[in-house]
Amino acid sequence: MIVYFSRSGQNLYRGQCQYLNVGNTALVARAIARCFPQPIVAEIRPIIDYPDEYQQVLKITKHELDERTFPKIMPITADIAGSNHIILAFPNWWNHLPRPIVTFMEQYQWQDKTIYPVCTHEGNRFGDSLNELSEIA
């Protein structure tokens, strides 16, 4: 199973702010899905979408991080509980997990599951997200 969070709209792409119809992490999740004969793919979507404008997203996500707020997300219909191996794809936001990923992770039990993290970034790699994942899972 592949579970991912991505954001379209203005994004950094190769160091420049560009409008993307499909977010970087969604593209990576789709590429991974092509490696499996019958992939199960689930997208994590906040109930209230982030704006298209990159600078606004920076302000909102920095506020979420600083204030430890977590957006509500849409229900995921895929059988997370029945999956033992999960590829979890997400962008690096402020060197941390995006808050929608944290919301998702806190909704499930992770013992006896293997999580394969995949992180899109502009050079900071995973940042602190692997530490955060180990604390949650």
What are the tens digits of pLDDT across the range 35-79? 999 999 999 999 999 999 999 999 999 999 999 999 999 999 899
CATH code that applies to domain 2-136 = 3.40.50.360
Q: How far apart are the C-alpha atoms of 30 and 4, rounded to whole Å?
A: 10
Average pLDDT for the chain: 94
pLDDT tens for 61-72 read 999 999 999 999
pTM over 0.75: yes
CB 100 within 8 A of CB 69: no
Mean pLDDT of 29-34: 97
Residue ranges covered by each domain of the chain? 2-136
What is the strand order of the sheet 41-43 is part of? Answer: 41-43, 2-4, 85-91, 114-120
